[in-house]
Amino acid sequence: MRMSKMFIPTMREIPSDAEITSHQLMVRSGMIKRTATGIYNQLPLGMRVQNRIESIIREELENVDYQEMLCSALIPSELWQESGRWTRRGAEMFKLKDRRGREYCLGPTHEEVFTDIVRQEVSSYKQLPIRLFQIQSKYRDERKPRFGVIRTKSFTMVDAYSFDLTKEEMDKSYKEMKKVFSRILDRCGLEYITVEADSGIDGSPASIEFMIQSEIGADEIAICTECDYSANLERAHCFDRHFENEEIKPIEEVYTPDAGTIKDLEVFFGKDASGFAKTLIYEADDKRIAVIVRGDRAVNEIKVKNFIGDVESFTLATDDTVREVTGAEVGFAGPIGIKADRILVDSEVASASNMIAGANKTGYHIKNVNFKRDFDGEVGDFKTVSNGDRCPICGAPMKIRRGMEIAHIFEPGYKFSEKMNATYKAENGKTEYIHMGCYEIGTERLTAALIEQNNDDSGIVWPMSVAPFKVVVVPVNLKNEDVVHTAENIYMKLKEVIGNDVLIDDRTGSAGVKFKDSDLIGIPIRITVGRDLRDGLVEMKLRDSDERELISVSSVVEVVRDKISELR
Amino acid sequence: MRMSKMFIPTMREIPSDAEITSHQLMVRSGMIKRTATGIYNQLPLGMRVQNRIESIIREELENVDYQEMLCSALIPSELWQESGRWTRRGAEMFKLKDRRGREYCLGPTHEEVFTDIVRQEVSSYKQLPIRLFQIQSKYRDERKPRFGVIRTKSFTMVDAYSFDLTKEEMDKSYKEMKKVFSRILDRCGLEYITVEADSGIDGSPASIEFMIQSEIGADEIAICTECDYSANLERAHCFDRHFENEEIKPIEEVYTPDAGTIKDLEVFFGKDASGFAKTLIYEADDKRIAVIVRGDRAVNEIKVKNFIGDVESFTLATDDTVREVTGAEVGFAGPIGIKADRILVDSEVASASNMIAGANKTGYHIKNVNFKRDFDGEVGDFKTVSNGDRCPICGAPMKIRRGMEIAHIFEPGYKFSEKMNATYKAENGKTEYIHMGCYEIGTERLTAALIEQNNDDSGIVWPMSVAPFKVVVVPVNLKNEDVVHTAENIYMKLKEVIGNDVLIDDRTGSAGVKFKDSDLIGIPIRITVGRDLRDGLVEMKLRDSDERELISVSSVVEVVRDKISELR
């Protein structure tokens, strides 16, 4: 391609609305252009990178028999009503009506559509497995679009789906896709970690996010400092922190009128937060749920939601509800005598002794509260892991870091099949649910992540596999006929070998500008045709190194070709 | 690929909701699947054809320096308000709001977005021309979705845009794209005609539709029986039909109380419809427009709209307005003394003599009405061409046929640039508008059109260039090890040569079913491995012929390769 004909509007200044490196560089290198908050268009350079990434993904998915489809982004509400997600998905879903008043959403994801297609065609076990994928725009009405293409209202997702006979078969598909996704991200040149995650699917244990560690990530991850355990804080586990068991003492009501916070209570009782049992009240549909964790812990709402199962709405209770449930002002909730529909007790509280808790009586707390003796409830893990907690696998300390999700694989299992009646007749004649696995990669976000990891002061440093061009030929002086002729010659010959992956910067203008642009847009190999030409030489410089190598004009095609295979 | 792993849900029955051949065959061959009225998904086989077509389009567009982009389908209302199309586009546009109440449309087309991007980057004449395209889903709230993927609410469009300095440069780009589009459709194997069309852009003369002749087409086309003139009826011209000029007679008011229709009047006056001047009243925004054509003609509203220029709304006048303008009951409008803001006179009326017209007086007509003597107005071509009219180029008779648009190229020129202030500084320092050309192909509709033209009783007969697979290998008996082994061997060898374009039907099941399926899905070449194998032979059959050829196992790869190049 000729730079003179390309639409690559580069800029030197840092755009004022771009907070992070990848956003700045994508705008500055002319990869993307904003139309409105959270809405970006891919300009030709960005599109070339997208196409590279999509090719890698297609190739790897087709290798394991996933077949490409394309579903409309316009999805009738009926399908989402069947799955129960029409209301539950909430404000993030774009909804609209057609001229007859029929309701649709713009697909934020496509599980319903794929399940619908498969259930219509599959009747017998002989027709499974089925493996499908699509590369399609997804739409989410983000509350706070941010960071360029990282958090947007419309973005490209590769979503793949496996449909299997049994949980065992689904697990196999899932494990295979874990490898496939790793290979895809490896080939793109991304450094990532795999993180156990919440699937958003009740009771689905298998869920892995492929994340990069990044301060701008929306998630927190617990990472073991010793073994390779890492998990999204949403579902991370840890060993309980135990304290020496004291002798069980009799309960004692204490008047604490001025102690409004845990801090005040620590001072009042001369005990640190870990000695308190903190009670939070939630409303899950029409049920009141009391959750009790230690005073030094935060409740993990995702864990609570997964524990109580299928609910439409789940929120912290209003003050009025708290008063009703506790019979006291807000601030004095406790486990003893609370009028909740369910009482969930974190395992650390269940195993501790002589805790201090609210008395469900305005102005009072109770000392020496003990599980089973003084109150009962369902025991589980309802706490949020924090820095220094011990790894549930090896016991070493964990650290908490921020992470950004690039891809996600999970197992809805028969969740959609059950709601949407996607079944098959098994060999033994019984009707069984189809088991689904879901596998998603956000391609623009992957691009941004690659830039976050591959840049320097001059611009982007593309890995060869996804670079928009693999090599750029720069004639330094268009007035010198020899230079122009040789550069054009090298360009044409390279084109024969690597096709459209070679760019020639045939613009009039200084060599300095051309160098700056090729550094900014991050082309891995630069061939400069300049004054060394009188010795039959041109200069080769790699984007990720400061070294310059002089090579003979006659060998340039061969050298470049070898370099490309070496760097691939 | 292995048929046993593909998701190609073929069916023998004709789906009850499919009225036309292409729709029936796309459903029966498992290419598409409906989610709701007017919303289809591409299943793997359909997707393969789409990908083929898109590859051809990409290649041809990139050959002439068009660069691929991808714009979001979610477009903020502001851009459409700037262009004036937010309200004018009407009910066909899907509109929606985000959680903050900001309005968007789902792009039915992308002129505004591309103009917006280009105007932000271009300041100098040195930056033009720019040539861009995208392959993107478009959304239109069709009043009556129909014919499978032919008229839908969501479909794929390739839209390309040229941005040039001047009208002359734009014309060059336009002419080049006419060739490029012809080459694309030729390569896909489509038989089409190019038709002069209305561009929907006021005063834009250059507009060509690439159409197939088809009874299910939504358009009517005038086609010359001699030369190669053809035009959409919306804008087709013809020579005026002239009659012998009579001696001009004095006007005469005639009482015609019972003559309500042209038919009645023909009997009453003993003159056929061509002797009458018919007056229709339109409301264009707040103006009343009287249009006068001959009694045997229909008014061409598109021509009228283009003539009067930029208006928001344009409709036939209500009865109340007709009464106001004519001062008479409906049915007696005429050119003399009519109180319209503009009077448009079709050229046939202007050149005829002694016509009969309404008197603008209830119950009366006027005889011997003559243009200029009795009334005045703006003369133009406001009539709809009809069967047998003479070609404006060569004078031969034209016929009217139905046609279906597959692609459309047109010149908005500076229409969007003017409204959206997309300018550049010319070499002479003056600020000038950028000139835009637009080029669109609907890819699903192209697929359907290809099937309409390439099918027989057994199914689709794909042209080689767009076939989802080029060759299928059919082992007739999976219990015969020799057969299986040879078929697998041929499959693997073909795969080395033509990659994923070879399919093996490795399903258990009868040869009959396999033949029926491969005929239905239209694979151009079938290699059958069966009983001739004992003589070292396999059978080659082309989809578009009944002949079977026996070829030796050792030569099959070579023969198939040659056949593919021959048919390409």
Residue B86 CB neighbour total at 10 angstroms: 17
Nearest to B91 by CA among B149, B39, B143, B151: B143
Q: How confident is the model at residue B65 (pLDDT cuts 50, 70, 90)?
A: very high
Q: How confident is the model at residue A261 (pLDDT cuts 50, 70, 90)?
A: confident
Arithmetic mean of pLDDT, A225-254:
88
Tokens representing residue A515 in the block: 């160098």
Q: How confident is the model at residue A5 (pLDDT cuts 50, 70, 90)?
A: very high
For A108-129, how does the pLDDT look when each residue is reduced to its tens digit (9 = 90+)? 999 999 999 999 999 999 999 9
Give the CATH number, domain containing residue A376: 3.90.960.10
For A68-112, how does the pLDDT look when each residue is reduced to its tens digit (9 = 90+)? 999 999 999 999 999 999 988 878 999 999 999 999 999 999 999
Residues B369 and B412 in one domain: no
Shortest CA distance from A155: residue in chain B: B72
Asked if A139's CB is within 8 angstroms of B74's CB, the reply is: yes
Asked if the structure places residue B463 within a domain, the reply is no
3-state helix, strand, coil in chain A (%, to 5): 35, 30, 35
Say if residue B204's pLDDT is above 60.
Answer: no
Residues A45 and A189 in one domain: yes
Q: Is B492 on the interface with A (CB under 8 A)?
A: no
Decide: helix, strand or coil at residue B524.
coil
Nearest to B4 by CA among B510, B400, B483, B508: B508
**Would you state the pLDDT for residue A542?**
97
Arithmetic mean of pLDDT, B314-318:
93
Residues A212 and A319 in one domain: no
For B434-452, how does the pLDDT look when each residue is reduced to its tens digit (9 = 90+)? 999 999 999 999 999 999 9
**Would you state the pLDDT for residue A205?**
67
Q: Is B154 on the interface with A (CB under 8 A)?
A: yes
Give the CATH number, domain containing residue B104: 3.30.930.10
Residues B433 and B554 in one domain: no
Asked if A99's CB is within 8 angstroms of B96's CB, the reply is: no
CA–CA separation, B67 vs A4, rounded Å? Answer: 12
Phi (first) and psi of residue A228, to 5 degrees: -100, 25
| ipTM, 2 dp | 0.90
Asked if B7's CB is within 8 angstroms of A130's CB, the reply is: yes
CA–CA separation, B566 vs B498, rounded Å? Answer: 14
Q: Which of B317, B347, B380 corresponds to the end of one domain? A: B380
Of B309 and B93, the structure prediction assigns the larger pLDDT to B93
User: Looking at the 3D structure of chain B, how many domains does it have?
Assistant: 3
**Would you state the pLDDT for residue B378?**
95
Residues B67 and B207 in one domain: yes
Looking at CA atoms only, how far is residue A235 from chain B in angstroms?
29
Decide: helix, strand or coil at residue B170.
helix
Q: Is B503 on the interface with A (CB under 8 A)?
A: no
**Would you state the pLDDT for residue A533?**
94
Mean per-residue pLDDT over chain A, rounded: 93
Note which residues in 238-257 of chain B have CB less than 8 A from chain A: none
**Would you state the pLDDT for residue B446?**
98
Q: Which of B352, B380, B408 corresponds to the end of one domain? A: B380
**Would you state the pLDDT for residue B216?**
87
Please report the number of interchain residue pairs, chain A to chain B, with beta-carbon separation below 8 angstroms.
Answer: 144
Decide: helix, strand or coil at residue B500.
helix
Q: A394-408, B242-256, B281-295, B483-497 — which is least confidently predicted?
A: B242-256
Say if residue B200's pLDDT is above 70.
Answer: no
Q: How far is CA A110 from CA A83, A95, A137, A416, A417, in A?
A: 12, 15, 11, 11, 14
Q: Which of B380, B415, B431 corresponds to the end of one domain? A: B380
**Would you state the pLDDT for residue B199?**
64
DSSP track, B336-381 = TT---SEEEEEHHHHH--SEEEE-SSTTEEEEEE-BTTTB--EEE-
Asked if A137's CB is within 8 angstroms of B99's CB, the reply is: no
Arithmetic mean of pLDDT, B472-501:
94
Q: How confident is the model at residue A200 (pLDDT cuts 50, 70, 90)?
A: low
Domain that holds residue A322: 252-380
Asked if the structure places residue B152 within a domain, the reply is yes
Q: How confident is the model at residue B194 (pLDDT cuts 50, 70, 90)?
A: very high
Asked if the structure places residue B23 within a domain, the reply is no
**Would you state the pLDDT for residue B247?**
87
Q: A245-249, A253-257, B70-74 — which is least confidently predicted?
A: A245-249
Q: What crossing angle do the helices spanning B481-498 and B556-567 adopt, rounded to 10°? A: 50
Residues A92 and A216 in one domain: yes
Asked if the structure places residue A457 within a domain, the reply is no
Residues A66 and A198 in one domain: yes
Task: Write out chain A residues lying below 8 Å of B71, CB-based.
Answer: 35, 41-42
Residues B84 and B125 in one domain: yes
Say if residue B203's pLDDT is above 90.
Answer: no
Asked if the structure places residue B375 within a domain, the reply is yes
> Could you check whether the bond before residue A129 is cis, i.e. omega within 30 degrees of 0?
yes
Arithmetic mean of pLDDT, B473-501:
94
Asked if A137's CB is within 8 angstroms of B137's CB, the reply is: yes
Asked if B67's CB is within 8 angstroms of A35's CB, the reply is: no
Q: Is A55 on the interface with B (CB under 8 A)?
A: no
Asked if the structure places residue A243 within a domain, the reply is no
Q: How confident is the model at residue A313 (pLDDT cuts 50, 70, 90)?
A: confident
CA–CA separation, A140 vs B195, rounded Å? Answer: 41
Nearest to B273 by CA among B383, B395, B396, B361: B383
**Would you state the pLDDT for residue B267?**
87
Residues B260 and B222 in one domain: no
Residues A311 and A406 in one domain: no
Residues B546 and B416 in one domain: no
Arithmetic mean of pLDDT, A325-331:
91
Q: How far is CA A234 from CA A213, A388, B457, in A?
A: 16, 17, 58
Residue % of chain B over a pLDDT of 90: 86
**Would you state the pLDDT for residue A199?**
64
Residues B194 and B331 in one domain: no
Asked if B76's CB is within 8 angstroms of A44's CB, the reply is: no
**Would you state the pLDDT for residue A322?**
93
Give the CATH number, domain containing residue A515: 3.40.50.800
Q: Is A140 on the interface with B (CB under 8 A)?
A: no
Looking at CA atoms only, how far is residue A73 from chain B in angstroms?
8
> Could you check whether the bond before residue B129 is cis, i.e. omega within 30 degrees of 0?
yes
Asked if the structure places residue A8 within a domain, the reply is no
Task: Write out chain A residues lying below 8 Å of B36, CB-based.
Answer: 76, 78, 102
Q: Is A153 on the interface with B (CB under 8 A)?
A: yes
Q: How confident is the model at residue A146 (pLDDT cuts 50, 70, 90)?
A: very high
Q: How many C-alpha atoms does A354 have within 13 Å on its Cβ side?
A: 11
Nearest to A292 by CA among A246, A356, A236: A356
Mean per-residue pLDDT over chain B, rounded: 93
Asked if the structure places residue B358 within a domain, the reply is yes
Q: How confident is the model at residue B493 (pLDDT cuts 50, 70, 90)?
A: very high
Arithmetic mean of pLDDT, B376-405:
94
For B80-133, how does the pLDDT look when each residue is reduced to its tens digit (9 = 90+)? 999 999 988 878 999 999 999 999 999 999 999 999 999 999 999 999 999 999
Sheet holding A74-76, edge to edge: A74-76, A103-106, A95-97
